Amino acid sequence: MAKLMLVVLGALVAMAAAKQFEKCELVRELRKQGFPESEMRDWVCLVEKESGFRTDAIGKLNGDGSWDHGLFQVNDRYWCTRDGPAGLECNLSCAALRTDDITAAATCVKKIFARHGFGGWTAWKAHCQGAKPDISKC
Ligand SMILES: *[C@@H]1O[C@H](CO)[C@@H](O)[C@H](O)[C@H]1NC(C)=O
């Protein structure tokens, strides 16, 4: 019984580990990670539309059989490994893109951005080219 309780408790702790950012909390974190102020509202919009601000988000199965991971919904066809050791373009396991510490994810998305700009993200193209979130109070 005690053992079962520990398992249940462990599961609850694991669930609680997933983080959902508040808007301004995300802005502060992105500033800390060195994202430029000129891109800030686009990143906040992108994160909101891609993952709902959740670090542990996994998207729907894509048409090509790939999945998207974490706050920035990074695709596992090119950027991270779904199974096995860290690899692909970001040299990361996709699980490393779903942690509450977003340092690795930030480095990875800067690489994606350098190559594709915001146009690399479907949700940004669909929702973030016009009105963007107000972060003037952050
Ligand atoms: C990839 O990351 C691992 C550590 O996870 C490191 O040992 C390896 O050198 C890295 N490979 C490249 C090509 O950067």
Task: Kindly report, residue by residue over 12-37, the tens digit of the pLDDT.
Answer: 455 556 899 999 999 999 999 999 99
Q: Residue 91 corresponds to which amino acid?
A: N
Q: DSSP state, 131?
A: -
Q: What is the pLDDT of residues 77-135, one digit of tens each?
A: 999 999 999 999 999 999 999 999 999 999 999 999 999 999 999 999 999 999 999 99
- Tell me how crowded residue 126 is: count the other CB atoms within 10 A of its CB: 9
Contact assessment for residue 74 and residue 109, using Cβ atoms and an 8 Å cutoff: yes
Q: DSSP state, 97?
A: G
Residue 2's pLDDT band, with cuts at 50, 70 and 90, is low
Nearest CA to ligand 1 atom 5: 86
Nearest CA to ligand 1 atom 12: 91
Ligand 1 neighbour 91 (Cβ under 6 A) = yes
| Mutation pick for ligand 1 pocket among 81, 88, 90, 91 (CB with most ligand atoms within 8 Å) | 91
Domains of the chain: 23-127 (1.10.530.10)
Number of H helices, E strands in the chain: 5, 2
pTM: 0.87
Q: Give pLDDT, residue 6.
A: 47
Q: Give pLDDT, residue 18.
A: 87
